[in-house]
Amino acid sequence: MLKSGICQLDEKHYNKCIAFQDINYQLALEEDKDLIFNQFANVLNSFDPSVDIEFSYINQLGRNNELKAAIQIPDKNDGYDDIRLEFREMLKSQLAKGNNGLKKSKYITFGVEADSLEQATAKLERLEIDILSNLKSMGVRAEGLTGEERLKVLHDILNPDKLFSFSYKDLKPRESTKTVIAPDSFNFVPSKYFKFGKYIGAVSHLQILASELSDRMLAEFLDIDDNINISFHIKAVEQTEAIKMVKRKNTDIDKMKIEENKKAVRSGYDMDILPSDLITYGDNIKMLLKDLQTRDERMFIVTIVFMNFAKTVQKLDTTISQISSIASKHNCKIKRLDHSQEQGFISVLPLGVNKIETEDKDFNVDYHEAIAMVPGMGDDKKGKIIDCVQTGYMLNDKVIRHAKVVVGQ
């Protein structure tokens, strides 16, 4: 982590981070909500496929001292100190009656690939200016984080019960900033949990089953008064590749329709009667293709990861049950990352990790471990990955875990 706030992941990958505040979206009029939504859509559409984006939403308990420091409004001897005193006392009263020192933070981490630090700095600074400008137009307060501020964010995630104390002046030659933020211990042996320091954590991901998501869902997750980290990994897809991908799906749907027609003829009933799910999915694919081709819409690959932690398994499971209940209400599902807690934990941090992409990729022994071969898949699937049983991941261009995959033969 550099002093400027740029994090160098490896020789070619760099990122920066911006902290942003809430906006009164829920209290806004409908036309104002539409305007905010369109402005946010423009922010996302401004990112090209070369930029990696991560939105991080972090709720942390027990940060009373930090909150008290934040509400200390100093006197200025300008005749308004009585009002400042009254306001300070009101905030202290609310804090005392509040939610166990629950601190809510929001960050955008954006990364690029570059051949040198100088090139990366120029790209990241330009992106930072654009993002800050777009957020300002939405009425959102935001600021870029320095290296110390980013280290504090990571330290507080990894060490929930410790205070952060660090200065780059104290860093010894060739000493890594990792030593400043690393917890006392990690244990990823349990398949459904992991341990770090005095805490037990669990990572899950959100399976989106609904055709549309409510704008209330994220707010309901963050209204839970407990430790919770939510990360949205967003990756724009090249427009031509997105159109090809949707066309392939449309072709698959057409093939399925033909198969259903053949079954109908063999069974002696009306061949025009198709399963409702197939019809709905086909219509959705056609609408998506139309949006991509005629309305200049962008396609994004989105991964939503949750991390919860507590001092007991019972408390942890209670919080996860709350999250699962909210997800079910919005026709989604929370799925625990069994046997992949370490991978999920790294993914939830506001840092960059190169996950190994597997679907429809060529099998490569350097990255993948074949656990099954499926014959008769056709020439287009020979040597291709059909399914991923356990995802692998990379860190600093090194394979930490090989992906376990099923390969077409």
CATH number at residue 178: 3.40.462
User: Would residue 21 count as lying in a domain?
Assistant: yes
Both 205 and 343 in a single domain? yes
- Confidence band of 357 (pLDDT split at 50, 70, 90): very low
CA 278/CA 257 separation, integer angstroms: 8
Q: Domain for residue 2, yes or no?
A: no
Q: Are residues 208 and 280 in the same domain?
A: no
**Residue 395 maps to which CATH number?**
2.30.22.10
State whether 46 and 181 are in the same domain: yes
Give me the pLDDT at residue 70, please.
Answer: 61
Rounded Cα distance between 385 and 360, Å, is 5
Range of the domain at 360: 353-409
Which residues, other chains included, contact 15 with Cβ-Cβ below 8 Å and sequence gap of 6+? 6, 7, 9, 52, 109, 110, 111, 112, 124, 351, 352
Same structural domain, 157 and 253: no
CA 118 centroid distance within chain? 27
Cα separations (Å) of 28 from 123, 140, 216, 351? 35, 14, 13, 33
Residue 403 lies in a domain: yes
* Separation CA 384–CA 359 (nearest Å): 8
Residues 147, 228 within the same domain: yes
Residues 365 and 385 in one domain: yes
- Residue 205 inside a domain? The answer is yes
Q: Are 109 and 142 in contact (CB under 8 A)?
A: no
**398 and 388 fall within a common domain:** yes
Say yes or no: 53 and 194 in one domain. yes
Q: What percent of the chain shows pLDDT beyond 70?
A: 80
Q: Domain total for the chain? A: 3
Residue 406's pLDDT band, with cuts at 50, 70 and 90, is: low
Q: What is the DSSP letter of 379?
A: G
**C-alpha distances in Å from residue 80, one per residue of 72, 74, 76, 199:** 15, 11, 8, 45
Residue 305 lies in a domain: yes
Confidence of residue 359 (pLDDT cuts 50, 70, 90): very low
Contact 108/2 with Cβ under 8 angstroms? no
Residue 209 shares a structural domain with residue 254: no
- Do residues 357 and 323 share a domain? no
Say yes or no: 249 and 230 in one domain.
Answer: no
Cβ atoms of 110 and 51 within 8 Å: the answer is yes
CA atoms within 13 A on the CB side of 8: 16
CA distance 242 to 298: 8
Residue 95, domain member (yes or no):
no
Which of 216, 151, 153, 201 shows the shortest CA–CA distance to 180? Answer: 151
Residue with tokens 């809430």: 22
Q: Which helix (H) or strand (E) holds 56?
A: strand 52-60
Q: What spatial distance separates the first Cα and last Cα of the chain, rounded to whole Å?
A: 45
3-state secondary structure of 159: coil
> What pLDDT is attached to residue 395?
45
pLDDT number for residue 146: 93
Q: Domain boundary residue among 329, 352, 375?
A: 352
CB 346 within 8 A of CB 364: no
Task: Kindly calculate the radius of gyration of the chain based on its CA atoms and give it in whole angstroms.
Answer: 24
| Residues 261, 278 within the same domain | yes
- pTM, to two decimals: 0.74
Residue 386 maps to a domain:
yes
Instruction: Determine, yes or no, domain membership for 184.
Output: yes
Backbone angles phi, psi at 209, to 5 degrees: -100, -20
With a pLDDT cut of 90, the percent of the chain lying above it is 22
